[in-house]
Amino acid sequence: MSNTNQNPTPKTLSSEPCALSSVRSSVAVMGVSGYAGMELARLLLRHPSLNGSPPLFLGRAEGAPEPLAAVHPQLMDNNGTGLGAGGLRIEPFSWDLVQSRGVEVLFLATPHEQSRELAPQALDHGLRIIDLSGAWRLSAAQNRAVYKFSDEGSATATAVQTKAVYGMPELHRDEIRDASLVANPGCYATSIILGLKPLVSAGWIDLDRGIVADAKSGVSGAGKAPTAKTHFMHAADNLSAYGLFSHRHTGELLEQLDLAPAQIVFTPHLLPIPRGILSTLYVWFTDARQPSDVEALYRSFFAESPLVRVFPAGQLPQIQYSVNTNYCDIGFHLADDGRRCVIVSCLDNLLKGAAGQAVQNLNLMYGFKETDGLI
């Protein structure tokens, strides 16, 4: 994307986020055409705390306006306009338009290279950002290397990275409230981190034996652009592993769980279903535990996390329970020896794994109820 900054005297990067209006909530979405962008539009249009102010939807700067419902007919209302929103359009992007509409928070549902370009400009214009791409999720350069960012190591990228907060409310709720840039987590990473974090934090896992994270995702996790591997003839009636030891979400696991690469093996798989993730996590405990102990640990850790559902000991979640919801479902089964434990973590990759988590972060930034528009 070309540089479309039309403000001749932009603000400099601020060390403090701009204050959000207590009266009016004004948000914009860049990149609404994809699967996660569609879910983000649907959630925001129905959000009960946005005071009847629909989002500004932004498309390519060189494009022409087009009806939102033409891109996503599922958002059409009975008048053929848009989800009760008076015929909203996707508008050509410009900073002048963003500022004239009084936008305070900008969602970036864009490819990571576009987010690397747009985030610094948005911060210069005094906006707060929720970025759904992988552009700003990783704090360590060795973990970011998998993205091959063209601006890696530049002064601008370094300054922006220091502002980024990993947008997992269950782990970073307080930091998200005041963040100027929230880096929304990856979908696989969300399911695995939430499934493992209570045990890792408690020091119960024997890390010398290592962790195995076997994760499977529906085809929508690969994005809307068709590829040979997401083509019906490849994906239907098939199950395939990919990205072994090289998947982009691996760095998120290492950083958020404070693990060394040798302590976890993560293997993603492509399921022949539209959406949903099931992660099966295999661990050894350092000491024998009772099922009641494990369940109590999870319930205590997530006691203030309304979008994580902990199943009773021995009961396991399934994709069908969490798909089309904003929940992450977690269950476990403990072997008779009390040391071998299998954790199953399920979520909808487009909701809790993407758009739903982004709205959860918006709620924290605005001081809304964390579940507003989500349950």
Q: Looking at the annotation, which residues are catalytic?
A: 187
The counts of H helices and E strands in the chain are 13, 15
Q: Which tokens in the block code for residue 100?
A: 């004239």
Q: How far apart are CA 95 and CA 61, in angstroms?
A: 10
Helix (H) or strand (E) holding 204: none
Helices (H), 101-242: 112-124, 141-144, 155-161, 169-177, 187-202, 232-235
Task: Count CB neighbours of 45 within 10 A.
Answer: 20
For residues 332 and 308, the answer to whether their CB atoms sit within 8 Å is no
Q: How far apart are CA 126 and CA 206, in angstroms?
A: 46
- Report strand pairing: 66-67 vs 89-92: antiparallel
For residues 59 and 92, the answer to whether their CB atoms sit within 8 Å is yes
Provide the 3-class DSSP secondary structure of residue 235.
helix
Specify burial of residue 317 (Cβ count, 10 A radius: 0-12, 13-18, 19+).
buried
Which DSSP string do the residues of 295-363 spell out, in sequence order? Answer: HHHHHHHTTT-TTEEEPPTT----HHHHTTSS-EEEEEEE-TTSSEEEEEEEE-TTIIIIIHHHHHHHH
Where residue 241 falls (left for φ over 0; alpha for ψ -120 to 50; beta otherwise) is: beta
Closest among 247, 297, 238 to 270, alpha carbons compared: 238
Q: Which tokens in the block code for residue 277?
A: 């993730």
